[in-house]
Amino acid sequence: LRSTATSSSLPLAPLLSVTMKLILATEFVPIPDGVKIEIKARKLRVTGPRGTLIRDASHLRVEVHPINNNDGAGEAPEDGLKVPVGNSIRVDCWLSLSKERSALNSFCSMVNNCIKGVTLGFRYKLRFVYAHFPINVSCADDNKFCEIRNFLGEKRTRRIDMLGDVTCFRSDDVKDELVIEGNDIDLVSRSAALVHQSCLVKKKDIRKFLDGIYVSEKTTVKTEF
């Protein structure tokens, strides 16, 4: 007699997780008056009162288009979307997963930071923390580098060069404060990180030895544009 296989003896097929793709994800970045943005092959050139910034987003799978809606009253619909009044940038991402949509938001944040940099500028404030040996920081005449002395009583001098067009200077009204300014948020934050990392306590308990230079405030050079 030929034995017949039952349904319970058949191997089960593995369960496959299917992720749905979003057909179209769109974001708009408004462009304020006095700012000019040039777009070519996902390379941006942002020009404002404080200078010019260049960004390369060719590695992101997005489409970037300038939008001019000066003639619209309020908000004009386009493809079922609400377009802001005035000049703006439309960023599209087709057939995207969640990580690709995150890249879409990162691109919009990058453009907003460029606009903020060429209009308001970025300013980082750092404070000197010491228990016994006072930290002495002196800036160059052109404000392009600073020198740190007497950190934990050490004799060697630490020199930190600012990146790009970033400048540094000592605060006039606040004691033991270093101010770093620039238009590019990447260069300003990296310059502040170089100053902080140059004064790290080695071979000691950092819970007890808190000496160093720490970022205390992140703000803009100008309050309004």
Give the model's pLDDT for residue 6: 54
Contacts within 8 Å (CB) and 24+ apart, 134-143: 135/176, 135/199, 135/211, 135/213, 137/170, 137/178, 137/213, 138/170, 139/168, 139/169, 139/170, 139/178, 143/167, 143/168, 143/169
pLDDT above 70 coverage of the chain, percent:
87
- Indicate the pTM of the whole model: 0.85
Q: What is the mean pLDDT of residues 148-154?
A: 96
Quote the CA–CA distance of 188 and 117 in Å, as a whole number.
10
Structure tokens at 175: 């004691």
Residues 177-210: pLDDT tens digits?
999 999 999 999 999 999 999 999 999 999 999 9
- C-alpha distances in Å from residue 44, one per residue of 107, 138, 146, 158, 165: 11, 37, 32, 36, 19
Q: What is the mean pLDDT of residues 70-81?
A: 59
Give the model's pLDDT for residue 52: 97
